[in-house]
Amino acid sequence: MGEILLQLNNISVVYSDVIQVLKGVSLSVEKGHIVSLLGSNGAGKTTTLKAISGLLKPENGEVTDGSVIYNGKNIQNQSPEYITRQGIIQVLEGRQPFKYLTIEENLRVGTATRPSKPYKQDLEMVYNYFPALVARRKSLAGYCSGGELQMLVIGRALMAHPQLLMLDEPSLGLAPLVVQEIFRIIKKINEEHETTIVLVEQNAHMALQVAHYAYVMENGKIMMEGASKDLADNPDVKEFYLGMAATGIAKSYKDVKAYRRRKRWL
Amino acid sequence: MKKFSFHPCGNYHENYSQELNIFETDFGRVCLILFLAVLFLVAPFVLSPYMLYILNMIGISAIAAIGLNILIGFTGQISLGHGAFFGVGAYAAAILATRLGLPFYLSIPSAGIITALVGMIFGAPSGRLKGLYLTIATLAGQFIIEYVLIHWDSMTKGTMGITLPTTTIFSWEVTGDRAFFFLIFISLVLTTWFAVNIMRSKYGRAFIAIRDNDRAAEGMGIPIFKYKLLSFGISSFYAGFAGAIWAYYMVSITSEPFNLGLSVEYIAMVIIGGMGNIPGAIFGATFITLLNELLRYLTGVLMNVGFVTSTGLNMAPLREFVFGLAIVLFILLEPKGLAELWRIVRSSFRLWPFSY
Amino acid sequence: MDFFLQLLVNGVCVGLLYGISAMGFVMIFKSSSVLNFAHGELLALGAFFFLALITWAQIPIFAAFILTLIGCFILGFIIEKFFLRPLIGEKLIFVIMLTVGLAAMFKGLILLIWGGNLHTYPDFLPESLALKLGAIYIAPVYTATLVISIIFLVLFGLFFKQSSQGIYMRSVADNQKAALSLGVNVRRVFALSWAIAAMVASMSGIVLGIINGVNVHDLSSIGLKVFPVVILGGLDSISGAIIGGIIIGLLETFTGGYLSPSLRDVVPYIVLVFILLIKPYGLFGLVEIERV
């Protein structure tokens, strides 16, 4: 095992004092790894990310129990300003660009955690990763396509030089080829900058390909964990997340009458 | 004989009509009847004319404030033109009485209806505008009405003002504070009764639905434009009605009082009393009117204190300052207003000595 | 014809001032969605502060000007911190009424200290600033207005387009949640926008004071004239505020010059109603970019 960058110890998250979403989640992220969080809708993946990045508060949520330890420091329930300055940047789900700012201005907002530093070099770096953005640097983000926007928001996060980058569903609503491109870049960022990445995905297939390690969540709990290779071979994961029959071949509608596999972990 | 009911311990409503009851207990009903009896049978005969004057002003403001509360508190449309609508009512009554010679029992309701129409004209932008934009549109309405009141000389006699004939009902002359007390408070009871009841009806529920989420309300099949207009209409009717009574009470009117300050005063009544709460509007009207009188009294006293006059301080603006301060403090500390405080006091009495 | 040109020039100058005072208003609205009804009082505070500095404290004009700007900058911070911050996330009407309450407080305060009379600044603008173009005479005040307005505009343009802090402010106005996720200090942005708005307001208050004399009632009613201006320009467009200001300024001076002086003060509101009915989001307001 390498050095642990981020550790969640048995955290619970409650929204508006009544709705408990996370019921004791523990996970650890090794430095320089890509860790993937899988799970169906409403499993609590996004909430887990927000618990780390401090974005729960604007939504009236709170970590009520457990601890979030990052680089040896307790950071649960800190303000987003504090946490982002520690090097944790979350890329929100559903691409949230600043619609009325140009692409370049959008990228510059990413320097908010270190305002006095020069940013020109970082712009170059982002344009290197995402050449598609160069041509559109002066146009309003509101008029860009979904793929460009996804690149933009990842690039914007990179401007902050994050140690830990958290991506929430980068493949949402994108064409398969664009998804492949984006995952290729994520992998590249991880390798070149040694940025640790937490990846939340519905596209389990792609996520397991790039990630080193993965967690499966359901109903606010971690149900399974393991190296992504092992998980990809796990018959349960295959059935429920990769759309394969237990035998390993793609499920056919010929067999619709076949009994669905029971989840082993329930 | 029906059993006299007290507060049940829990929610025992079995059908919708029980939910919609105005009085949860007979105790509340009896209290209100007792209060009204004291108000009508005792107050006008023991209070001094000055006290009656204050009560009358409270009553008039309360009618207008209830109207504004229907618009702001229940329908969620902010209007900054209520003071001007009040003025429209006053002028409409005055003009109807002097030009057409209408008796007051006809001119006051007609003034209300005219104001309702004017209010609906300025409410019409609500079909397209929401929130801030609508607020600004009503602000424009305030200024335009003010301008018309001052400059439409042939109708409003401009800055000269209009003097109204004495109010007579059959052969009885309604003059003096006591006679007006009855006129005003009977109107207040009727308008309150009407407002409380409209809020329990289909219309009231539609208003509340629009306030809480207008898109969802539209999706549920509520024609929101129609209801918003209706809400503007009802609210301006109240303002015009109150304005008309005020005009008769004051005998002669000029356009001066109907400025933005008055509109703000009405909004302050609604907020300080409690938004979306009809008794709250009455509390708010009472609070603001008393505050106004108190400050007027204080500045009068301070004027004569040698120390203050010798330092050259002018105390009149104190009123403006305290007024603003009251609004700010209420918003920061008790945004639900006096109605909420009243509820807290009442329930702590009711539950005494077991606080919950 | 000369009369026309004279009105045109006056209108543009007054309009620029309206535009600049509207700019502060738009800034607050853009970053924190607060409709500031106390804007006129901020203008008046600036004007009276300046008056106090040059007549009571006898500070040189230029230093007094700078001191006023700094003072109002701090005042804006204080207002945001103590009054607006507790209301973040509250209903629209509470925020509006809070600013209305603040307006009444400030007005009362100014009246308590300075009274409701008309004060004037000592004449300090050199006559050499006056311009003569043919028969048109541009008074020194108007020249100064023009110069100051243009300087401020350029500074603002640079600030919002080039400086990081300006871009952060725009980002918060645009998408608060995303700004938070990138570590933008949203509270500082709110405070800063109030501070800058108060500063700009005080600047326009001073210039208006030079032109018309310093009177609480006049200055605070100009605060309300900001509304037609911003609606015309679109509530969220800073450059629109300037153009809206000029249009309203021209409209006023021409109505005052050709139709009737009494109509002058209502005309902006009449136009406002029509604009709201025809083009609700203003002539230059951002068209909501809606893509999901």
Contact B331 C94 (CB under 8 A): yes
Where along chain B do its domains lie? Answer: 50-351
Asked if C60 reaches chain B (Cβ–Cβ under 8 Å), the answer is no
- Whether A196 shows a pLDDT value over 90: the answer reads yes
- Whether A266 shows a pLDDT value over 60: the answer reads no
Residue A258 included in any domain: no
pLDDT at residue B307, rounded to an integer: 58
d(CA A148, CA A89): 19
On the CB side of A167, CA atoms within 13 Å amount to 31
- pLDDT tens across A227-255, in order? 988 888 887 777 777 766 555 556 665 55
Residue A150 included in any domain: no
Average pLDDT of C188-209?
88
d(CA C79, CA C103): 11
Contact C87 B147 (CB under 8 A): no
- pLDDT tens across B48-104, in order? 888 888 999 999 999 999 999 999 889 888 888 899 999 999 999 988 888 888 887
CA A21 to chain centre: 18
Shortest CA gap C54–chain B (Å): 21
Neighbouring CB atoms inside 10 A of B91's CB total 30
Q: Give the B:C interface size as CB pairs under 8 Å.
A: 135
Q: Strands A164-168 and A196-200, how do they pair?
A: parallel
pLDDT at residue B18, rounded to an integer: 67
Contact B144 C273 (CB under 8 A): yes
Q: Which residue of A has its CA nearest to C170?
A: A101
- Whether B189 shows a pLDDT value over 50: the answer reads yes
- Whether B214 shows a pLDDT value over 50: the answer reads yes
Residue A142 has its nearest CB partner, among C168, C184, C289, at C289
Kindly provide the residue ranges of all beta strands, DSSP E only, lying in chain C, ordered along the sequence.
Answer: 131-133, 136-138
Tokens of C171: 């980002």
Q: Which residue of C has its CA nearest to B317?
A: C108
pLDDT at residue B84, rounded to an integer: 93
- Whether A217 shows a pLDDT value over 50: the answer reads yes
* Phi, psi of B14, deg, nearest 5: -110, -20
**pLDDT confidence band for A215 (50 / 70 / 90):** very high
Tokens of A204: 């389990």
Q: Give the A:C interface size as CB pairs under 8 Å.
A: 84
pLDDT at residue A199, rounded to an integer: 92
Residue A257 included in any domain: no
Nearest residue to C205 via CA among C186, C218, C187: C218
d(CA C196, CA C204): 12
C226 touches C39 (CB < 8 A): yes
Nearest residue to C153 via CA among C77, C85, C241, C219: C241
Cα Rg of chain C (Å, integer): 19
Residues of chain A with Cβ-Cβ distance to C170 below 8 Å are 98, 100-101, 105
| Between A238 and C165, the higher pLDDT residue | C165
d(CA C93, CA B295): 26
The domain of A45 spans 4-96+161-233
- Mean pLDDT over the full length of chain C: 82
| Between B23 and C67, the higher pLDDT residue | C67
Q: Is B330 helix (H, G, I), strand (E, B) or coil?
A: helix
Asked if C291 reaches chain A (Cβ–Cβ under 8 Å), the answer is yes
Asked if B139 reaches chain C (Cβ–Cβ under 8 Å), the answer is yes
Average pLDDT of A108-132?
86
Mutate which of B138, B151, B328 to disrupt the C interface (most C C-beta within 10 Å)?
Answer: B328
d(CA B319, CA B326): 11
Contact present, A and B (at least 3 Cβ pairs less than 8 Å): no
Contact C178 A98 (CB under 8 A): yes
pLDDT at residue B113, rounded to an integer: 94
Average pLDDT of C59-79?
89
A98 touches A91 (CB < 8 A): no
pLDDT at residue B19, rounded to an integer: 65
Shortest CA gap C64–chain B (Å): 26
Nearest residue to C225 via CA among C263, C257, C252, C255: C252
Residue type, C97: M
CA C179 to chain centre: 27
- pLDDT tens across B17-26, in order? 666 666 666 7
Residues of chain A with Cβ-Cβ distance to C181 below 8 Å are 53, 55, 80, 84, 89-92, 96
Residues of chain A with Cβ-Cβ distance to C179 below 8 Å are 98, 109, 112
Q: Mind giving me the DSSP string for B16-81?
A: HHHHT-S-SSHHHHHHHHHHHHHHHHTHHHHS-HHHHHHHHHHHHHHHHHHHHHIIIIIT----S-
Neighbouring CB atoms inside 10 A of B67's CB total 33
Residue A143 included in any domain: no
Contact present, C and B (at least 3 Cβ pairs less than 8 Å): yes
Asked if A109 reaches chain C (Cβ–Cβ under 8 Å), the answer is yes
pTM (2 decimals)? 0.79
Asked if B325 reaches chain C (Cβ–Cβ under 8 Å), the answer is yes
Q: Which residue of A has its CA nearest to C178?
A: A96
B285 touches B337 (CB < 8 A): no
B77 touches B71 (CB < 8 A): yes
What does the longest C-alpha to C-alpha distance in chain A come to? 63
Residue A101 included in any domain: no
List CB contacts of B353: < 8 A, sequence separation 6 or more: none
pLDDT at residue A99, rounded to an integer: 85
Neighbouring CB atoms inside 10 A of B34's CB total 10
Asked if C280 reaches chain B (Cβ–Cβ under 8 Å), the answer is yes
Give A91's strand partners: A167
Contact B125 C277 (CB under 8 A): yes
User: B50-351 maps to which CATH number?
Assistant: 1.10.3470
What does the longest C-alpha to C-alpha distance in chain C come to? 59
C13 touches C142 (CB < 8 A): yes
- Whether C130 shows a pLDDT value over 80: the answer reads no
Residues of chain C with Cβ-Cβ distance to A80 below 8 Å are 180-181, 183
Residue A249 included in any domain: no
Q: Domain tally for chain A?
A: 1
Mean pLDDT check: name the lowest of A137-146, B50-59, C140-149, C193-202. C140-149
Residue spans of alpha helices (H) in C90-139: 92-114
Cα dist. A9→A27, B32, B187, C253 in Å?
A: 7, 59, 66, 69
pLDDT at residue B232, rounded to an integer: 92
User: Which C residues in the span 229-288 are in contact with A, Cβ-Cβ below 8 Å?
Assistant: 286
Mean pLDDT check: name the lowest of B309-313, B332-336, C262-266. B309-313
Average pLDDT of B226-253?
91
Q: Strands A88-91 and A34-39, how do they pair?
A: unpaired
- Whether B199 shows a pLDDT value over 60: the answer reads yes
Residue A102 included in any domain: no
Q: Which residue of A has its CA nearest to C285?
A: A100
**pLDDT confidence band for B124 (50 / 70 / 90):** confident
Contact B328 C98 (CB under 8 A): yes
Q: Is A200 helix (H, G, I), strand (E, B) or coil?
A: strand
d(CA A61, CA A19): 9
Neighbours of chain B (3+ CB pairs under 8 A): C
Kindly provide the residue ranges of all beta strands, DSSP E only, lying in A137-219, ordered along the sequence.
Answer: 164-168, 196-200, 213-218
Asked if C158 reaches chain A (Cβ–Cβ under 8 Å), the answer is no
pLDDT at residue C291, rounded to an integer: 44
List CB contacts of B264: < 8 A, sequence separation 6 or more: B80, B83, C100, C104
Mean pLDDT check: name the lowest of A16-25, B183-192, B252-261, C89-98. C89-98
Mean pLDDT check: name the lowest of A244-258, B103-117, B228-242, C84-98. A244-258
What does the longest C-alpha to C-alpha distance in chain B come to? 70
Average pLDDT of B193-214?
88
Asked if A158 reaches chain C (Cβ–Cβ under 8 Å), the answer is no
Q: At what angle do helices B49-69 and B278-304 cross, to 10 degrees?
A: 140
d(CA A218, CA A223): 6
**pLDDT confidence band for C153 (50 / 70 / 90):** confident
ipTM of the complex: 0.83
- Whether B1 shows a pLDDT value over 50: the answer reads no
Tokens of C282: 């203003």
d(CA B59, CA B69): 15
- Mean pLDDT over the full length of chain B: 82
Tell me the helix, strand and coil percentages in chain A, rounded to 5. Answer: 40, 25, 35
Average pLDDT of C231-254?
82
Tokens of B351: 């539950």
Asked if C241 reaches chain B (Cβ–Cβ under 8 Å), the answer is no
d(CA B102, CA A133): 75
Asked if C93 reaches chain B (Cβ–Cβ under 8 Å), the answer is yes
Where along chain C do its domains lie? Answer: 2-227
Mean pLDDT check: name the lowest of A202-206, B175-179, B216-220. B175-179
d(CA C100, CA C94): 10
Neighbouring CB atoms inside 10 A of A70's CB total 22
Q: In what order do the strands lie in the sheet with A164-168?
A: A88-91, A164-168, A196-200, A34-39, A213-218, A221-227
- pLDDT tens across C22-39, in order? 888 888 887 777 888 888
B72 touches B267 (CB < 8 A): yes
B286 touches B177 (CB < 8 A): no
Most confident of A262-266, C210-214, C284-288: C210-214
C44 touches C115 (CB < 8 A): no
Q: Strands A196-200 and A34-39, how do they pair?
A: parallel
Shortest CA gap C239–chain B (Å): 19
Asked if B322 reaches chain C (Cβ–Cβ under 8 Å), the answer is yes
Residue C266 has its nearest CB partner, among B147, B321, B335, at B147
Residues of chain B with Cβ-Cβ distance to C108 below 8 Å are 317-324
